[in-house]
């Protein structure tokens, strides 16, 4: 019973010693944005693959937990970045997500969204496909180029409902596609599902 408050985290022989960002966040019980912040602050030892993806050694995470204690599990609400040139849509989605206890940042264009990514590391991006100058597909490509495919989940949505859009989103590495005009609750539910947030 000695490990009731903190389960024994010694890895079974068949578990990898190296974890991705998402796996490390789950291991520590915090949001991906939180472990990124700790990495940037030098609190958690971080290694990078040749492609620039973060990797964490399980033993380093165990040491961090032992050193930090309960503070390692401080509450940090998942952060969602909404990228859409329609201010009304952004406001509606923001209100829905904040009502679920999520933190939200907005961007009115893909370029602005990429600038926000230089400041913060969201746990999820909700990305409109149809935007001027740079569309959502191009932003998705740049996000993947910078962070790696799947490191930051991206849900695409669009006012142009194309039967192939959902398949295209999947092929390009997005975590989902929702047609717009859409049921906002569907988008909120999808966001909560990806982030592992229980229904309130």
pLDDT at 74 over 80: no
Whether the Cβ atoms of residue 158 and residue 136 lie closer than 8 Å to each other: yes
- From the list 153, 147, 118, 112, the residue with the least C-alpha distance to 133 is 112
**Residue 88: which H helix or E strand, with range?**
helix 87-98
What's the 3-state SS for 4-72?
Answer: CCCCCCCCCCCCCCEEEHHHHHHHHCCCHHHHHHHHHCCCCCCEECCCCCEEEEHHHHHHHHHHHHHHH
Query: What are the structure tokens assigned to 58, written together?
Result: 């399980």
The predicted-structure confidence for 6-36, as pLDDT tens digits, reads as follows 333 443 445 568 888 888 877 877 777 778 8
Kindly state which CATH superfamily the domain 79-195 is placed in: Response regulator (3.40.50.2300)
Q: How far apart are CA 61 and CA 44, in angstroms?
A: 7
The predicted-structure confidence for 125-138, as pLDDT tens digits, reads as follows 999 998 989 999 99
Q: What's the pLDDT band for 5 if we cut at 50, 70, 90? A: very low
pLDDT at 110 over 90: yes
Q: Where in the chain is the domain with CATH 3.40.50.2300?
A: 79-195
Q: Where in the chain is the domain with CATH 1.10.1660.10?
A: 18-73
Whether the Cβ atoms of residue 78 and residue 197 lie closer than 8 Å to each other: yes
Query: What are the structure tokens assigned to 25, written together?
Result: 């966040």
What strand order describes the sheet that includes 18-20? 18-20, 54-57, 47-48
Lowest mean pLDDT among 49-53, 168-172, 179-183: 179-183
pTM: 0.63
CATH architecture of 18-73: Orthogonal Bundle (1.10)
pLDDT at residue number 140: 94
The predicted-structure confidence for 141-177, as pLDDT tens digits, reads as follows 999 888 777 788 999 988 776 667 788 888 889 988 8
- From the list 61, 73, 69, 74, the residue with the least C-alpha distance to 24 is 61
Strands (E), 84-181: 103-107, 124-128, 154-158, 176-179
């Amino acid at each position: 019973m000695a490990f009731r408050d903190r389960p024994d985290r010694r890895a079974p022989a068949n578990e990898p010693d190296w974890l991705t960002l998402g796996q490390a966040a789950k291991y520590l019980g915090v949001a991906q944005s939180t472990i990124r912040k700790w990495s940037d602050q030098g609190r958690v030892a971080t290694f990078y693959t040749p492609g620039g993806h973060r990797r964490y050694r399980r033993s380093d995470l165990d040491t961090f937990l032992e050193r930090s204690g309960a503070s390692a599990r401080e509450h940090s609400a998942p952060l969602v970045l909404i990228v859409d040139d329609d201010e009304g849509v952004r406001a509606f989605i923001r209100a829905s997500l904040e009502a679920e206890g999520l933190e939200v940042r907005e961007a009115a264009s893909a370029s602005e969204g990429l600038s926000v990514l230089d400041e913060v590391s969201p746990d999820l991006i909700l990305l409109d496909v149809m935007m001027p100058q740079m569309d959502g597909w191009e932003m998705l490509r740049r996000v993947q180029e910078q962070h790696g495919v799947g490191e930051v989940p991206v849900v695409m949505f669009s006012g142009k409902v194309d039967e192939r859009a959902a398949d295209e989103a999947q092929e390009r590495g997005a975590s989902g596609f929702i047609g717009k005009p859409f049921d906002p609750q569907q988008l909120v539910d999808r966001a909560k599902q990806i982030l592992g947030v229980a229904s309130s």
